[in-house]
Structure 1
Amino acid sequence: MFSYDELTSPERELWNAFPEGRAVDLRADVPGEDRVDDRVAEGGRWGPQRTIRAAVITALMLGAHDGRQPGAVPCLRLAGARITGSVDLAGAQLAYALWLEECWFEDAVNLLGATTQTLVFKGCHVPGIEAGATRVEGNFDLARSIVESGAPSHFHHRITALSLTNARVTGGVILNKAELNAPGGWALAAGGLIMEGGFFCRPGFVARGEVRLPGAQLPGGLYMNGARLEEPSPRGLALNLENSVASTVMLSDGFVANGTVSLRGARVSAGLSFAGAVLNGPPDGNGPSLTAALMQAVDFDLALAAPPAGTVDLQGAQVSYLHDGEHSWPGVVELDGFVYGSIKTAETGAGREARGRRNTVAHRVAWIRRSPGYNPQPYEQLASWYRKSGHDDEARRVLLAKQRHRRHTLPPAARAWGHLLDATVGYGYRPWLAGVWLLALTLLGTLSFGGHSPRPVQQGEGAPFQPLVYTLDLLIPIGGLGQRTAWYWPDGTLQWLAYLLIALGWVLTTALVAGVTRALQKN
């Protein structure tokens, strides 16, 4: 315990102001804000008139000088101080708010397992904050602060700038314009964090090292609009939101990730937006830009500002509304199991409409073909969406593309048969081709048979030979027009032509009937 006589002049000022919650401002009273010696980064050079021992702050926060005044709420408010020693409040039950502005810390701040009121470190320079398992009844505000990596966290073996692992915050976490520096380590370790308010890392926020929020519960949303994530962990992760639960995740409006963004297993009850973002992937180029396997979201906006440098993995993801644009997809996209209710493209306007829906289908099929290997589900999903939208023709084009893609995976004989089905009936999705072939074969047969005379089966019986009717009789497999049974070709080319027409008639007529039936059923 301190005696009052042991306190320095600025410490006495802080001691006297604490019971009334008055602010103590030790910043130099000089015009302008650009003086080198008044910058927080230069706080290590500040003299005794701006120095407060961390032990004094710790003593006040633990109730050493409550001295409550009527109508006043005790609170530690300090600005422009050089704080020497370590602020160690681990496990403490703190009844007062801590409000520090533009202060320079000599050592890390330890709040491990503490229960505290609002914490504000605004515009400060801190060599690490350990707040794992901390309960904050209010906001945790680090706006404009620079938090450097210190020793490995109590929870983690890796160097960490800010630890909120398993913490609980009833208000919001505010990191607007803050810098968290742990290059190659963990800039933020917040696995299991439980929030009641929002998590804000808006323009100017920079993290050097991995931002980890696996399993976090963020009902107030995560807002990283315009944030920049650099120098990821050795695994190449810039942002880890695996298995997290959030109402809204905004990684948009200039958000830049120089590392993998992982949303594997995340659940977003409203909007997940990358609109205007840049996903560069790991700096070494080995790894995906976005992995969102098994992710669930209502509204998923992937209208990026530039194509992702690495792959995008959406295997097993489920979204109600997918928004994409011309820069959304890289050269490799994992789409197997990806389910969506509808697709909206940012490339609207007269220019795109003029190209028509056919080009849109070609664009979507090319999108699916970016997946490595053959998987039928992405084609079925796209066709299902077209059918639900009332575009049956587009759905058939997609399913035809599926069959063509599948053909490449078959053995040579099956591939040859597939080429035949494609050319003749479009795998049944272009039934009109069967009609075209039937007309062409009818013309071929009529001309071929018309220049020759067959032999009657029985002399003097049956109808006269008619080349057109005879050809139709060969091509139509059901019923009969009396020509095929009354006339025959003894041998030669015309006999084999007749056999060929019979075989093709079965195939083409069956395909034509199937196509008409499918059209009538609106499939």
Structure 2
Amino acid sequence: MLSYDELTSPERALWDAFPEGRCVDLCTGVPEEDRVAEGGQWGPERTVRAAVIVALLQGANTAQPGAVACLRLAGARISGHVNLAGAQISHALWLEDCWFEEGVDLSGASTQSIAIVGSRVPGVEAGLIRIEGRIDLRRSRLESGSASPFHRRVTALSLINAHVSGAVNLNGAEITAPEEWAVSAGGLVAEGGVYCQDGFVAHGEVRLMGAQLPGGLHMRGARLVGPGRRGVAIALDNAVASTLDFSGGFIANGTIRLRGARISDHLTFEGAVLNGPPGCHGPSLVALLMQAVDFDFTLARPPSGAVDLRGAQVSYLHDNGHSWPDVVELDGFVYGSIKRDEAGERREAVGRQDSVARRVAWIRRSPGYSPQPYEQLASWYRKAGHDDDARRVLLAKQRHRRQTLSPAARVWGHLLDATVGYGYRPWLAGVWLLALTLLGTLSFGTHSPHPVQRGQGSPFQPLVYTLDLLIPIGGLGQRTAWYWSNGGLQWLAYLLIAFGWVLTTAVIAGVTRTLQKN
């Protein structure tokens, strides 16, 4: 137990100020001398032992009546290891512009609000902590410390399974663990949200898997640099949040992983840059089975890696000309509406001249063939009242599917496409019928055929004769009553009969397919 007599001058000042919650400021007022980065050179007049801080927070100097005890210290060099693991702390802690010789261990502690602002700390371990208030690490620089015998992986900030009734404030902080986890906060519950804005930088992976963030995750303008060998900038697998904000110049040099994440309000990447893992070909965004109400993917420039949205569900999708890379996984992706950002205005993506062509090209960025993206897009067009566009999408689906079939099936597919557009363009059959009718009428009208039986049957009529050849079912009495001695016209008659059967079969097959799908 520390005694008052063995305390140094700055430690006595802190000891005396603690019961009344007064702040002890050891800064000199000279900017060059107060730079936290140079805190390792501060002398004894600005040094406070970690043991003194631990003793005060654990009740070494009782509060005075009528005052609220609080540890407030600024501009100090803190020597030794601040070990408060498992402690029951009933006082708030405020440390500003301090330089820590060793890391801070708050794992398993129960405490009031904690603020370590503008300071340099070799790691903060706060797994399983319970904070009745907020944790404030604004403008601080956290670096991974040395590994312990029990932990192979080194983390600059650990909040694994922590519970914070307020917010986690990391605005302006720089957290560095280049080859490891910059932030490890799996299972974190932050009722007031997590704030990583105002120049926040993380060198290393940010892990928030399974986190519960009713107040959201706000990373507007942040910069994330994932570790090179794994390439994940931030992992939010199975996280539950009201908002995920990666907008306003947000930059990620690594994969953003949102597998199974559930966002009750909006997920935004407006103006973001997704570079993907540095030095490799990994994906820029992985959002398998992600759920969100509003998904804003209006990026500043196209992602360098693939975007995986398989199985994701969103109510509203916003995109622009920079949203999609060369590879987009869309199988199982469900959306209720699409709005496109053009020249700062967001409008429904239906009704535009190139809307269908652009959306089909978007689907074709997916590797291989899958019918679901086409069906989803067609469903959206139908709900918007654009049935013609929906049919164009379904026609594009059949053309894409045709590439996966056997040669014989591809030939039949080309025939269906040319004649009736797979049933989505039945008017093509009318065009073919009209053209063949005109051809037959003009060709047969220049010559006179021979009657099969003289004096019987109706007079020869080129138009009716041509129609009789083209219509395979029933008969108009002309085809059986006349024949040709001219070989060319006879072969034309055979050809028209064959075309009639092909057209009829194609119409029946195409219409049947359309009825089955709709």
TM-score (normalizing by structure 2) = 0.95
SS in 1 for 2:332: coil
Equivalent residue number for residue 450 of structure 1: 445
Q: Is the 8 A contact 1:285 1:310 kept in 2?
A: no
Unaligned runs of 5+ in 2: none
Equivalent residue number for residue 62 of structure 1: 58
SS in 2 for 1:447: helix
Question: In 2 relative to 1, CA 153–379 (structure 1 residues): closer, same or farther, beyond 3 Å?
Answer: farther
Runs of 4+ in 1 over 4 A off after TM superposition: 153-156, 348-356, 509-523
Equivalent residue number for residue 328 of structure 1: 323
Q: 2 CA distance for matches of 1:354 and 1:41?
A: 52
TM-superposition CA deviations, 1:463-487 (whole Å, max 9, x none): 1011111101222234432212322
Question: In 2 relative to 1, CA 237–350 (structure 1 residues): closer, same or farther, beyond 3 Å?
Answer: closer
Q: 1 CA distance for matches of 2:435 and 2:179?
A: 69
Question: In 2 relative to 1, CA 108–145 (structure 1 residues): closer, same or farther, beyond 3 Å?
Answer: same
Equivalent residue number for residue 173 of structure 1: 168
Q: 1 CA distance for matches of 2:24 and 2:345?
A: 62
Whether 1:274 aligns to 2:274 is no
Q: Is the 8 A contact 2:207 2:235 kept in 1?
A: yes
Unaligned runs of 5+ in 1: none
Equivalent residue number for residue 112 of structure 2: 117
Whether 1:97 aligns to 2:92 is yes
Equivalent residue number for residue 12 of structure 1: 12
Equivalent residue number for residue 235 of structure 2: 240
Q: 2 CA distance for matches of 1:315 and 1:70?
A: 62
TM alignment of 1:116-515, pairs within 5 A: 116-152=111-147, 156-232=151-227, 234-347=229-342, 357-489=352-484, 492-509=487-504
Q: Which residue identity is paired with 1:389? A: A
Question: In 2 relative to 1, CA 365–510 (structure 1 residues): closer, same or farther, beyond 3 Å?
Answer: same
Question: In 2 relative to 1, CA 8–279 (structure 1 residues): closer, same or farther, beyond 3 Å?
Answer: same
Q: Is the 8 A contact 1:435 1:512 kept in 2?
A: no
Q: 1 CA distance for matches of 2:71 and 2:198?
A: 29
Shift of 1:413: 1.6
SS in 1 for 2:353: helix
Shift of 1:503: 3.2
Q: Is the 8 A contact 1:358 1:394 kept in 2?
A: no
TM-superposition CA deviations, 1:40-89 (whole Å, max 9, x none): 111111111111000000000111112x2232111101111100000000
Equivalent residue number for residue 38 of structure 2: 42
Q: Which residue identity is paired with 1:402? A: K
Shift of 1:154: 8.6
More deviation, 452-461/97-106: 452-461
SS in 2 for 1:138: coil
Aligned pairs, number: 518
More deviation, 397-406/151-160: 151-160
Whether 1:23 aligns to 2:19 is no
Q: 2 CA distance for matches of 1:479 and 1:153?
A: 90
Q: 2 CA distance for matches of 1:91 and 1:294?
A: 37
Question: In 2 relative to 1, CA 377–231 (structure 1 residues): closer, same or farther, beyond 3 Å?
Answer: closer
TM-superposition CA deviations, 1:77-109 (whole Å, max 9, x none): 111110000000001111111111011100000
Whether 1:87 aligns to 2:89 is no
Shift of 1:504: 2.3
Q: 1 CA distance for matches of 2:344 and 2:75?
A: 54
Q: Is the 8 A contact 1:232 1:258 kept in 2?
A: no
Question: In 2 relative to 1, CA 519–406 (structure 1 residues): closer, same or farther, beyond 3 Å?
Answer: closer
TM-superposition CA deviations, 1:411-457 (whole Å, max 9, x none): 21221222222222211211221111111100111122223333323
